[in-house]
Structure 1
Amino acid sequence: MASAAEQLASNINFASFAKAKELQQRIFFTLAVLVAYRLGTYIPVPGIDPVQYAALFDSQAGGVIGVFNIFSGGAVERMAIFALNVMPYISASIIMQLMAATVPSLEKLKKEGGEQGRQQINQYSRYLTVLLAAVQGGAIAMSMMTPGVNGQTVALNPGIFFLVSTTLTFVGGTMLLMWMGEQITSRGVGNGISLIIFTGIVAVVPGLIFSLFEQGRQGQVSGGALLGIVALMLATFAFVVFIERSQRRLLVQYPKRQQGQRMVGGDTSFLPLKLNTAGVIPAIFATSLLLLPTTVANMWATTGPDWLQMIAAQLGRGQPLFIILYGAMVMFFAFFYTSIVFNPEEVAENLRKYGGFLPGIRPGKRTAEYLDYVLTRLTMIGAIYLAIVVLIPELLTAGAAGAVTFALGGTSILIIVSVAMDTVTQIQSHLLAHQYEGLIKKQKLRGRNR
């Protein structure tokens, strides 16, 4: 017999959505914020020569700057106020999470501070976001004040005023996006920061697909290569969906116990452990930490010192150092983030508190050790899967078709699929909650009529 939750889930349809007024308001609010974000990607930073910047961007578009442009929804190509996107905030969050796991005072604040401690750590992340955005925005502003190969600067009037105003514009854009993401999380459908990145990628995908087929029409890409790229994209989508929905289900039993005149309990349930518990976060973290420094390095690569040009070359798309660092960081953050979101000792204690146990495993410490054993092996598979997905485009042959494949494959596909699935799950949860509320109200009315 299906459970009540399964019966409610099977009854979700357009009629139930039409009755869920709160969910509709959340969706409309989310769409309004995302539309405002997209408008911001078309507002250029003042004081920039568009011709000179277009030449600079075209010279670097085939590398990591082109990838960063995808994540920003084309804001880098237009040098808009949202060019930094939410990457400084993600970098700050990574740093604070690492510090919370290593610095004793922050670790104590995280574990014992409760909700107030979590809010305090989030406030530290915001302060650090301002600092990182100022450093990165200032570096980009200085690079636009540096004469290029033709002796011209991207800045129309280089000077301290341009440096300060441009840096403040970048900082303000990042902080506004951070606030938008938090508003979507609290008043929208959730996953605010991820939805902003998702929207930026989805917005440029149609143009990339059109460009790919245009190259095939003009003969720049052979028909076989075009079919191969499309097949690889579809296979990657299917592979990501399959892995993201895969889970290991551990059987949990609850013993029978006497409650008044009745025997209750004796039920069984499952503890689901996802194959990729960390989701899309490791890819976003690795991208944030790797793309921003390389973007700044590439901005100065043509006019900077020799050592900076060497670093920019080694961190370029398809280079061995870039591939090694990217794969290693993705795998590291897969384990790191899983350790944050899933605590085997806490789960084992909760099972023991409610009388549940894993067959053949003693409650308490032994259960925690077994959960850690299973989760570690699942995370290893998930980390390898993430590394394969994000590195597939880097291991393909270079060229125009390879650049398009990189934009549409790997990390971009992973973000699109993962965020879309998480958003659908959030919407279904709101619908289930709405139907539960309806059932409770009906039961109360029946009780009053009796």
Structure 2
Amino acid sequence: MVTLGVIVLFRLGQSLPAPYVTVRAPEADHPLRRLLDLLTGGGLSTLPVFAFGVLPCLAAPPVLRGLIVVIPRLAALRAEGQAGARVLTRYRRRLTVVLGLLGAIGVLGFRGQDILDAHGAIAVVCLTAGTALVLRLAEVITDRGFGDGVRILVLVQVLAVLPSEFLRLYEKTGWAAIAVMAVVTLSVTVITIVVAQGQRRVPVRYAKRMIGVRAYGGTSTYIPLRFPQANSPAVLAAVLLSLPVLLPGAGWLGWLRDEGNPGRIAVYFVLVCLFAFNRAAVTQDMDKVAVELVRVGGFVPGIRPGPWTAEYLDFVNRRIIGFGAFCSGVVALIPVTGLALLDVSPRVPIAGVTLQVVLVFLVSVTLDTTRQAQALRLQRHYEPFLR
């Protein structure tokens, strides 16, 4: 109920017009318009109170990670454990609000509205406050609801702009769109679930220790190695392929605008695989895992502790993320190919990315909700025994 209530408030904020804002008709054929509608729920077209949706919440963590690399103080906070994590969380919230402020100033200034007068200042404050309120709504879902709040709100705003896209698709191709969308949905769902649920279990044993007259340790467990799911590689690839079209004198790159072009599809597949592999390789550090195993007295059978264990885990993990990156490319390729068969890419720019993000988000959010519901059921089942 908390999650549903927050979703209703979020959609209300995306429908409530901001004061003193001049609304103009959007450019229907702009190559990046569909992607902006995907990230903001169509808010940049009408500029409601929640005009930016969860876009600042999505942009703040990567910006903060970049600042951690540059600023030594932030790197020291990350190494302090939970205390440093709480401070970084406060910095992330403030950075989200700052990005909302900069976005409000940039959008209103781009539309030719004077932000220095009273009406312009009120509009900027209203849009910035909307960004802060969206951040709070996402945290409420994360703390008291089911799943990650940012991901659920992204799914909500994507589903808000998707019906019009499907209606346009149906008007152009008829019942063929229903058959192709059914095949695409089933394929993407199956592959996403298989990759998300799959794991490689590396066996680990712990050495026995004598404390007094009792022996401790000697148990066996495993390290689950997974491929981290993400939609960012597909979005980054789509943006990267759309940017050359906006450059002056880049008419020879016009084939990148058509999603049905075989060359664009091949480049898109390669970029998604590379981005997915790079993201997974950066987020998983096997050296830390090996150091932690040495600290607690664990070892992989047949592998010497220390650098040799890290090398073995990295050897296994790179093959897992290589296969996962290939599956991410296939998942990104299925909607693009299906829409190319329907020949709708000139009318619906980057529709394949929109469809893939919707399906993957729907599957991932469903899996997370199922896990949380199962954990809650087990917690209540065993609660009488823990008293």
| Deviation (angstroms), 1:42 | 0.9
Q: Which residue of 2 is the match for residue 268 of structure 1?
A: 220
Confirm or deny that 1:32 pairs with 2:5.
yes
Mapping of 1:53-64 within 5 angstroms? 53=25, 56-60=26-30, 63-64=31-32
Query: 2:58 & 2:48 partners in 1: Cα distance?
Result: 19
Query: 1:363 & 1:70 partners in 2: Cα distance?
Result: 47
Q: Which residue of 2 is the match for residue 431 of structure 1?
A: 377
Query: 1:232 & 1:352 partners in 2: Cα distance?
Result: 46
Q: Which residue of 1 is the match for residue 303 of structure 2?
A: 361
| Alignment deviations for residues 271-308 of structure 1 (CA, whole Å, 9 cap, x no partner) | 2111x22x226348848x949x97xx99xx8xxxx849
| Deviation (angstroms), 1:169 | 2.8
| Deviation (angstroms), 1:200 | 1.8
- Please tell me whether the aligned partners of residues 286 and 326 of structure 1 are also in contact (alpha carbons under 8 angstroms): no
Q: Taking structure 1 as the reference length, what is the TM-score of the superposition?
A: 0.70
Within the candidate set 108, 123, 130, 2:97 is matched to 130
Q: Which residue of 2 is the match for residue 109 of structure 1?
A: 77
- Please tell me whether the aligned partners of residues 155 and 361 of structure 2 are also in contact (alpha carbons under 8 angstroms): yes
Mapping of 1:6-155 within 5 angstroms? 28-48=1-21, 52-53=24-25, 56-60=26-30, 63-111=31-79, 113-145=80-112
SS of the counterpart of 1:58?
A: coil
SS of the counterpart of 1:409?
A: helix
Change (3 A) 1:172 1:321: farther
Q: Taking structure 2 as the reference length, what is the TM-score of the superposition?
A: 0.80
| Deviation (angstroms), 1:36 | 1.0
| Deviation (angstroms), 1:343 | 3.2
- Please tell me whether the aligned partners of residues 64 and 317 of structure 1 are also in contact (alpha carbons under 8 angstroms): no
Query: 2:276 & 2:103 partners in 1: Cα distance?
Result: 23
- Please tell me whether the aligned partners of residues 212 and 401 of structure 1 are also in contact (alpha carbons under 8 angstroms): no
Within the candidate set 182, 190, 196, 2:139 is matched to 182
Within the candidate set 345, 349, 369, 2:291 is matched to 349
Query: 1:80 & 1:330 partners in 2: Cα distance?
Result: 36
| Deviation (angstroms), 1:270 | 2.3
| Deviation (angstroms), 1:41 | 1.2
Alignment: residue pair count: 380
Change (3 A) 1:350 1:192: same
- Please tell me whether the aligned partners of residues 81 and 173 of structure 1 are also in contact (alpha carbons under 8 angstroms): yes
Query: Which amino acid in structure 2 is aligned with residue 428 of structure 1?
Result: Q
| Deviation (angstroms), 1:48 | 4.6
| Alignment deviations for residues 150-187 of structure 1 (CA, whole Å, 9 cap, x no partner) | xxxxx7x9984454333333322222111221232233
| Alignment deviations for residues 21-61 of structure 1 (CA, whole Å, 9 cap, x no partner) | xxxxxxx32222222111111112334565x42xx24344x
Change (3 A) 1:107 1:337: farther
Please identify, of 314-323 and 203-212, the stretch whose mean Cα deviation from structure 2 is larger. 314-323
Query: Which amino acid in structure 2 is aligned with residue 347 of structure 1?
Result: V
Change (3 A) 1:248 1:344: same
Q: Which residue of 1 is the match for residue 278 of structure 2?
A: 335
- Please tell me whether the aligned partners of residues 231 and 357 of structure 2 are also in contact (alpha carbons under 8 angstroms): no
| Alignment deviations for residues 186-224 of structure 1 (CA, whole Å, 9 cap, x no partner) | 3333412112112222344455545544x2xxxx30544
Query: 2:119 & 2:291 partners in 1: Cα distance?
Result: 57
Q: Provide structure 1 residue ranges, at least 5 long, that are not aligned to the other structure.
A: 1-27, 146-154, 442-450
Query: 2:126 & 2:281 partners in 1: Cα distance?
Result: 35
Q: Which residue of 1 is the match for residue 205 of structure 2?
A: 253
Give me the identity figure in percent.
Answer: 25
- Please tell me whether the aligned partners of residues 236 and 409 of structure 1 are also in contact (alpha carbons under 8 angstroms): no
Confirm or deny that 1:170 pairs with 2:127.
yes
Query: Which amino acid in structure 2 is aligned with residue 348 of structure 1?
Result: A
Change (3 A) 1:258 1:126: closer
Query: 2:317 & 2:250 partners in 1: Cα distance?
Result: 42
Within the candidate set 135, 146, 151, 1:194 is matched to 151
- Please tell me whether the aligned partners of residues 73 and 203 of structure 1 are also in contact (alpha carbons under 8 angstroms): yes
Mapping of 1:165-314 within 5 angstroms? 165-206=122-163, 208-209=165-166, 212-213=169-170, 215=171, 220-256=172-208, 265-274=217-226, 276-277=227-228, 279-280=229-230, 282-283=232-233, 286=236, 290=239, 307=248
Confirm or deny that 1:373 pairs with 2:306.
no
Change (3 A) 1:317 1:438: farther
| Deviation (angstroms), 1:418 | 1.6
- Please tell me whether the aligned partners of residues 290 and 310 of structure 2 are also in contact (alpha carbons under 8 angstroms): yes
Larger radius of gyration between Structure 1 and Structure 2: 1
| Alignment deviations for residues 104-146 of structure 1 (CA, whole Å, 9 cap, x no partner) | 33222211x322322333333333333332333223223333x
Query: 2:256 & 2:44 partners in 1: Cα distance?
Result: 19
Q: Provide structure 2 residue ranges, at least 5 long, that are not aligned to the other structure.
A: none
SS of the counterpart of 1:350?
A: helix
Query: Which amino acid in structure 1 is aligned with residue 192 of structure 2?
Result: V
Query: Which amino acid in structure 2 is aligned with residue 34 of structure 1?
Result: I
Query: Which amino acid in structure 1 is aligned with residue 359 of structure 2?
Result: I
Query: 1:432 & 1:290 partners in 2: Cα distance?
Result: 43
Within the candidate set 391, 410, 421, 2:356 is matched to 410
- Please tell me whether the aligned partners of residues 209 and 217 of structure 2 are also in contact (alpha carbons under 8 angstroms): yes
Query: 1:247 & 1:74 partners in 2: Cα distance?
Result: 37
